[in-house]
Homo-oligomer: A and B are copies of this chain.
């Protein structure tokens, strides 16, 4: 709660802040100051479900994914997102941040993640694209 209160004090500019990996990479002049999070990775996947848009099955998939994946300890800032650019034909996105490659590897071997991929992702997702970002 403390963090949110602080963010509120910063006003809208801070509240809508996006990638903070690292926070000080916003400009070239600041980039050199930061080394703390040079290894952080934002992992995203954009996808289309086999379910009808607006269906209960769609809502359940997104809700279960949030519940299952967000509680994996190395997963930070898990987000369920709508993909709204009309020049892109993916409908949804998940986004999460890993502190470093080791945390990402831990996620890739996590049993809850692996079970989700086998039991839900492979059955309910029609197509997808993974995207991993590191600050340049």
A106 CB–B CB distance under 8 Å: no
Distance from A132 Cβ to chain B, minimum over Cβ atoms (Å): 4
A82 CB–B CB distance under 8 Å: yes
Contact in complex: B15, A92 (CB < 8 Å): no
Residues of chain B with a CB closer than 8 A to A23's CB: 3-4, 7, 15
A41 CB–B CB distance under 8 Å: yes
- Counting every copy of the chain, the complex holds 2
Residues of chain B with a CB closer than 8 A to A21's CB: 16, 18
Q: What secondary structure prevails in chain A residues at the interface with B?
A: mixed
Interface size of A by Cβ–Cβ distance < 8 Å? 62
Residues of chain B with a CB closer than 8 A to A78's CB: 26
Write out, one digit per residue, whether chain A residues 102-136 have a CB within 8 A of any chain B CB (1) or not (0). Answer: 00000000000000000000000000011111111
- Nearest to A16 among chain B residues (CB) is B40
Interface residues of A (CB under 8 A from B): 3-4, 6-7, 10, 12-28, 36-37, 40-43, 46, 62-63, 66-67, 70, 76-85, 87-88, 90, 92-93, 95-99, 129-136
